[in-house]
Structure formats: C-alpha cells, structure tokens
Structure 1
Amino acid sequence: MIRALLIDDENLALRHLENLLWQLPDIESIESYTDPVQAITIASEYNPNVIFLDIAMPGLNGMQAAEMLQQACPEANVVFVTAYDAYAIEAFELNALDYVLKPVQKSRLEKTIQRLADRLSLHSQQEQQEAGAEERIFCCFHSLRLISAAQDPSARSEIPLRWRTSKAQELFAYLLHNRNRFVSKDALLQQFWPEYDFKKASTHLYTTIYHVRQCLKQARIQAEIINKPGNEGYVLQLGNIAVDVDVLENGILSAPEIKDQNAADHQGWSDWYTGDYFGEYDYPWAAGEQQRLRALWMNHAIELADFYAARRKYAEALKLFQKIVIINPYSEEGHLGLMKIFSRLGELQAVEDQYNKLSLLFEQDLGINVPAKAASWFKEWRLQNPGWTSSI
C-alpha cells in the first residue's frame, strides 16, 4: 500500500490531485499541505512512499524542498508537479521518479503510480537479496569506488556508483574527505560555485546534494548526509561503512614492528594503497592530504620491502620497490632498493638499466645530479664487478 505526501501552495490544485489519487488502487493514506515547511516537519514521522511536490512555490521552492525532504525521508520517491514543461528536464536531472503537468490527468497519474509500484517491488527484492550481505568500504586511493569488504582481496567486488554529474561525484568526495565533520554551506558554495551569485549557487548546491543522496540511495548505501539546523551546512555520516584511508592509516600507525609473524598484516595494509588519494581526478582541495598519505605509505612500504630483502624474500621485495617507483618516480630509496635486489639476483644488466633510468629522471627531468647515496652505491657496485660490461 502507498502513503502519499502532497505539497502545493495552490489549494485547488492540491485538492484536485488528492481526489484523483483516492480513485486509484493501492493508496493507503494521503497527507496534503500548502506550506512546504510544515510538510517537511512531519515527513520523517509520516514516512511516505511518494511525495508529489509542486516546483514553483513562493519562499521555499520545490527544488529546495526536495533536498530537505530527501534528508527527512530518504526512502521516499519524488514526483514533481508543474504547470511548465520546461521544468521536466530539471526534474529528471534530480532523478525524480516522475513529473506530471498541471492540470493533472487521471490517466497520466495512473502511469506514475504504476511506475512507483514497480520501483517499490524492486526495492523489496533488493532488500531481501542484500540481507546478510558483506560490509562495504569506500575507496579513495586512485579513484572513488565502493567495494565489498571481503578479507580476501581477490574476493572483493566493486559496487557501481552512478553519479548524475561529475560535480555530484566531487561534492560527495569532498564530504567524504571531511567525513563526520561539519562543512558549512558557505564553504561549499565558495569551493564549487564561486562564479555564481549566492542565490544561483545555493540552487546548484541543493540540486547536487539531491543528486548525491539519490546515488547513495540507488546503491543501497546507508550513509547519511545530515543537514544541520538552520540549513547552513552538512555532515556526512558513514555509519558502519569503512574508508580505505582509515584502514591503511590506522593499521600502519598502530602496528607493532614488522616481524615474520605479522608481515602479512603489514602487507595487507600496504596493499590498500592503489594510487594517490583521489589521484585520478586532480582535485585541488585533496592535494595536501594526497602528499601526507603518500609519504605515510612510502615510508612504510620501504620499511616492509627492506624487511623482505633482509630475509631473502626477493620477489616480495621487488614487487614493493617497483610499486614505490611507480607511485613516486623520483624515490631514491625505491630505485636503490631495486638495484640491490637485481644485484643479489645476479641480474647485472638490470642494475645498469635501473641506474640509467634514475640518471635520466634526475639529470634530464630535474637538471640535478643523481642523489649521492644511489650514486655512491652504484660506483661501489661497479668496482665490485670489474668484469661486467654493459650491453648498452
């Protein structure tokens, strides 16, 4: 059965829509309001399945009301009601269930209710399928992804996130960056829409927050974007959803010294680093955190690779040192570690090749000499291998 919430500042239009709905099957109850603010206050308690919302209202318009209603009752489907066809595209950009034109026709309303019934049925099936599903983790290294939290990395699967726009993805990434912390509306407007006046920028913000909530809803993500009192900012609360950044950082910072019995744990934490923090997107606001996390991972990875090398686990050490120079091509420790491993494996040409790569990077790209530590080691290595002649 369907619970409907109707909001329209025109009383006659409101009564007309209410009468039409009562003529349709599966309607359990209807609450009608001419004041959107009053409707928002009762929405969470009433918990409607569908909200019929007029777009053009004085004061709080339909787009703003939709953003606030999404927080009050995130499971509700929104149907925009408008006298102007021009609003249709904007309604669907907000990922509304439907839009209907005034004066509302019964035949058109029947199609909307059927669409709602189909969505509610699908929602029920998804809930049954996801009962007992694995926990999830938001990944921020390299790109923004959502994955299942299986202990075995090979068993982790990615859960699609269908962002309506790149701005919606970046706004969510920014809230995720500031998770569990209050982010003011003014800060968001300045960060994402500095070129617009306050009113237009605010409309973009409300619309984008709505997009984000709809994306989370479609992915069955229990995270909440809380609109703080006064509508002056937001807090992203993840509930029991983890973040790869926290898994890696908490693991590394709280871990004991690397030993044979805990090396697998250290490797597991290191493996979470699949690339720079939001590295795929080049978000300017992420640059500081990107550098901090890279340095944290790099120091730990070098320590772990040296541990492997000392125990003659050359394959493991080689893999880590190779990853280090991919993440930071100018890492002296990474290149030096590779040369040492190649030397121990008797791959003399590989030592020479690696040093040549290091020389090109520093001398041609940066215009400086090879770092003293690596240059000194290579010079000593050459002295210890007097019969070696490079094939280059």
Structure 2
Amino acid sequence: MIVMDDEPLALVNMEKKLKEFNSIEVIKSFTTAKDLLAEGPSLDFQVAFLDVEMPGMNGLEIARLLKEWNKNIFIVFVTAYRDYAVQAFEIHSIDYLLKPISKARLETTINRIQELLHLENKSTPLQIRNKPELTIQCFGGFVVLHNNKAVHWRTLKTKELFAFLFSNLNNHVPRDTIIDSLWVDTEFKKARVQLHTTVSYLRTTLSALGYSEVIQYANGCYILQLEDFQCDAHDLEHILNANMETAKIDVEKAEALIQSYQGEYMAALDYPWITSKANFMNNRFTLLLHDLIEHYTAIHDVKKREQILLLTIEHNPYSDKIIQQLIKHYIEVDNRACAVKVYNTFKNTLLADLGILPEQETTELFNAISVENFNL
C-alpha cells in the first residue's frame, strides 16, 4: 500500500501505526502530489491511505486519479474533518478515518481490506462463469443468495437500498428520491450522509461477491447495472415479453416459475416505497396465470387448468372474474358440488373481509347451477 499526507510528522505516525500489522506492507509514502505523479504509475499497490486536506491536489482529487490508474485500488481517507464524508463515499472509498486514529479502529479497516483482497483473489471473473452465482428471490420476500448462501448485509438499510435499486434496475434514480423513500423521517443533511454510508457498504458487499463498479453516481442520480444473475421477477418479465412477441407462452419456464412461487412481490417487508412496484408485479404474475389458463383451455388439459385457477384464486381472492372461470370449469367437468362450494366460500369471504356480495353475474351463474341441481 501507499500512504500520503502533506504533514511529515503525521505521515511518520501513520506509517508507524500501519507497520504494527504484519499482514500489510507500506511500499511508499508521499507528501506531495508531484512525487506521487512521478513515481505512482510505476508502483504495484492495491491500497492507498490518503489525507484529505492537502495543498494543490487534495485527497479527493488524488483518489480520482488513482481510480483512473486502476479502478480496483482500495481508497481509505484519513482526515480530522467530517465534512468530506459524502464526497469520499461517492469516490467509492472503503473507509473514512477520523484523526486521531485508535489502533482498534485502524484494525477494523485493515481487517476489511484483507477480507476484500481475499475475496477478490478467490473470485472467478464474471465473464467465465457458467451460471449466475447471484440468485434474487422477489416473490414472497426479498432473499439474495450467492452460491446458494444468503448474502450478509452489514445493516438493514444496506439490504433495503439494494432492494430499492434492484427494483429500479438500469434506471437512473435521483439521490433525493432515494432519501425521500428510505429516510423519510430523517433530517435531510443527516439522511444524505446515511445514504452515502449505506451506498459504500453496499458497494463493498457487492464487490466482495465479484460485482464491482455496478453502482454508479452521476448528475445527482444513482444507477444499479447488474448482469449475470437469476431472479424470479425478471424471469416473469422475460416470459411475458416473449409471449407478447411470439403469441406463444413458454409453458416449461412458466410452470417452473410457478412452482418456485413463494408469495406476493416482496411480501411482509415493511418498505413504504414498495407498494406501487408490488402492485405492478403482482398484476404481472396474475397475467401469467391467465395466459396459462388460456393455454390449458386451448389444449383441453382440464387438470392443469384447475390447478392454475385455484392458484389464481389464492393470488386474487376477491376476483369475481376468476371465480366465474372456476365455476364454469367445474360445470364443464360435471362437478357441480365443487362449483357450489366455490361460490359459497367466495361469498362468505367477501362478506367477512369486505362486507360486500358477489357481482350479479357471479350470483346468476350460481343460481343457474342451483336450478339445475333442483331439477335433477
């Protein structure tokens, strides 16, 4: 690693602290940007400890330069001031140390660096992976797995931020929109610092999994650009989009998605921002079920049609239209007892939960069954 501070005494003190850790090596120290520009490009280093307040080029500018040399260099800022925390995290620094630095606090940073370097050396490049190592389950909750193991989030907000950005994948999201969504009850200046801290944690987590530089910040917006992953919500979109283009549903993929279905989109998560997206995705899942019902009806597979109709009722328990389809299905297969039972259960559910009765068309369909049963 390299260390840079314009104050020689502070530089010597920092080197002394770092040399107490046998696992790291300080290969060069700098007090001026001129010396760094002259020697830096020829040095082989993975970590840079930078003072922020320096004449000429400050630590933030030096960090940007180092990132241009090598985007994988880990940056640690060292300063006596808190004011630069936001800018520091925007440069993708892995830590921000306030002087005076205790040995325990520095040890935390060194451990983090060692962990990142270890994972970086172990990881397989994305381009040669045979299958996605990252699996994201959105239906039934929000579960993120890496090589079939749950991803550890440093804080709950780190997980929520990833869920939020993933819900807006490949879209530029204004910083203030994120703050308003995730830190609605927090004073803005404090929320902004918390956002940048959380972004830093998230970048570190994703980088350790082999997904570096996937979160970018520009023009006041964040964007998550993620590739090489598997997600049930994205599988759903791919199936529906392909169906629209070809007018033919991929039954095998649709059935596999349904078998893995765990519940509504990000269900049971107390994220106030999720309602609109959840409603949209739940409607998309209902559309998939309708497409399958039409497919099984067309090929006269009444058994699978019944299975999908029952699942659709679970997904939309107050839908008259779906109840009508299920009643007509039972009439077609000559099972009027089940048709009557379905109607009565539906009626009782509506009365108990919503205080309403089934639509007139549903009631008329039931009455027609009742008359036939009476005539029989």
TM-score grouping bracket, smaller chain normalisation? 0.7 to 0.9
- In structure 1, the residue matched to 2:322 is 334
State how far apart, in whole Å, the 2-side matches of 1:19 and 1:167 are.
36
Aligned counterpart in structure 1 of residue 183 of structure 2, from 172, 193, 198:
193
Establish whether residue 364 from structure 1 lines up as the match of residue 349 from structure 2: no
Query: Is contact 2:123-2:209 (8 Å) kept?
Result: no
- Spell out the pairing of 1:285-364 with structure 2 (5 A cutoff): 285-345=273-333, 347-364=335-352
1:57 counterpart letter in structure 2: Y
CA shift, 1:134, in A, is 0.8
Deviations, residues 141-199 of structure 1 (Å, cap 9, x unaligned): 33223468xxxxxxxx7442222222222222221222222222222222222433333
- Spell out the pairing of 1:3-22 with structure 2 (5 A cutoff): 4-6=1-3, 11-18=8-15, 21=18
Query: Once structures 1 and 2 are overlaid, which stretch shifts more, 27-36 or 365-374?
Result: 27-36
Query: Is contact 1:184-1:234 (8 Å) kept?
Result: yes
Query: Is contact 1:55-1:82 (8 Å) kept?
Result: yes
Query: Is contact 1:67-1:210 (8 Å) kept?
Result: yes
C-alpha RMSD of matched pairs (Å) = 3.7
**Residues 333/306 of structure 1: CA separation in 2 closer, same or farther (3 Å cut):** farther
**Residues 28/38 of structure 1: CA separation in 2 closer, same or farther (3 Å cut):** same
Query: Is contact 2:135-2:148 (8 Å) kept?
Result: no
Query: Is contact 1:79-1:97 (8 Å) kept?
Result: no
Query: Secondary structure at 2:63's aligned position in 1?
Result: helix
- In structure 2, the residue matched to 1:67 is 89
Query: Secondary structure at 2:90's aligned position in 1?
Result: helix
State how far apart, in whole Å, the 2-side matches of 1:84 and 1:241 are.
40
Query: Once structures 1 and 2 are overlaid, which stretch shifts more, 299-308 or 51-60?
Result: 51-60
State how far apart, in whole Å, the 1-side matches of 2:140 and 2:17 are.
51
State how far apart, in whole Å, the 2-side matches of 1:25 and 1:359 are.
70
State how far apart, in whole Å, the 2-side matches of 1:198 and 1:7 are.
33
State how far apart, in whole Å, the 2-side matches of 1:268 and 1:324 are.
16
Establish whether residue 221 from structure 1 lines up as the match of residue 238 from structure 2: no
2:202 counterpart letter in structure 1: V
Aligned counterpart in structure 2 of residue 54 of structure 1, from 67, 70, 78:
78
- In structure 1, the residue matched to 2:369 is 381
**Residues 54/120 of structure 1: CA separation in 2 closer, same or farther (3 Å cut):** same
- Spell out the pairing of 1:150-169 with structure 2 (5 A cutoff): 158-169=148-159
**Residues 123/48 of structure 1: CA separation in 2 closer, same or farther (3 Å cut):** closer
Aligned counterpart in structure 1 of residue 162 of structure 2, from 172, 184, 187:
172
State how far apart, in whole Å, the 1-side matches of 2:227 and 2:29 are.
31
Query: Secondary structure at 2:77's aligned position in 1?
Result: strand
CA shift, 1:209, in A, is 0.8
CA shift, 1:119, in A, is 5.8
1:43 counterpart letter in structure 2: L
When the two structures are superposed, what TM-score results if normalisation uses the length of structure 2?
0.75
- In structure 2, the residue matched to 1:39 is 62
Query: Is contact 1:8-1:53 (8 Å) kept?
Result: no
Query: Secondary structure at 1:320's aligned position in 2?
Result: helix
Query: Secondary structure at 1:278's aligned position in 2?
Result: coil
2:240 counterpart letter in structure 1: I
State how far apart, in whole Å, the 2-side matches of 1:294 and 1:239 are.
24
Query: Secondary structure at 1:171's aligned position in 2?
Result: helix
CA shift, 1:295, in A, is 2.5
**Residues 331/127 of structure 1: CA separation in 2 closer, same or farther (3 Å cut):** same
Query: Is contact 2:119-2:209 (8 Å) kept?
Result: no
Between Structure 1 and Structure 2, how many residues are aligned? 346
CA shift, 1:329, in A, is 1.0
State how far apart, in whole Å, the 1-side matches of 2:242 and 2:79 are.
52
State how far apart, in whole Å, the 1-side matches of 2:9 and 2:65 are.
22
Give ranges in structure 2 of 5+ residues lacking alignment: 31-49, 52-57
Deviations, residues 294-341 of structure 1 (Å, cap 9, x unaligned): 223323412422431453423321221122122211122333333344
- In structure 2, the residue matched to 1:74 is none
- In structure 2, the residue matched to 1:142 is 140
**Residues 80/127 of structure 1: CA separation in 2 closer, same or farther (3 Å cut):** farther
When the two structures are superposed, what TM-score results if normalisation uses the length of structure 1?
0.72
State how far apart, in whole Å, the 1-side matches of 2:216 and 2:107 are.
22
CA shift, 1:29, in A, is 3.4
Query: Is contact 1:318-1:338 (8 Å) kept?
Result: yes
Query: Is contact 2:179-2:195 (8 Å) kept?
Result: yes
Query: Is contact 1:141-1:245 (8 Å) kept?
Result: yes
Query: Once structures 1 and 2 are overlaid, which stretch shifts more, 31-40 or 358-367?
Result: 31-40
State how far apart, in whole Å, the 2-side matches of 1:315 and 1:287 are.
34
- In structure 1, the residue matched to 2:269 is 281
Give ranges in structure 1 of 5+ residues lacking alignment: 72-76, 100-111, 149-156
State how far apart, in whole Å, the 1-side matches of 2:195 and 2:79 are.
17
State how far apart, in whole Å, the 2-side matches of 1:190 and 1:118 are.
33
State how far apart, in whole Å, the 2-side matches of 1:326 and 1:31 are.
65
1:67 counterpart letter in structure 2: F
- In structure 1, the residue matched to 2:35 is none
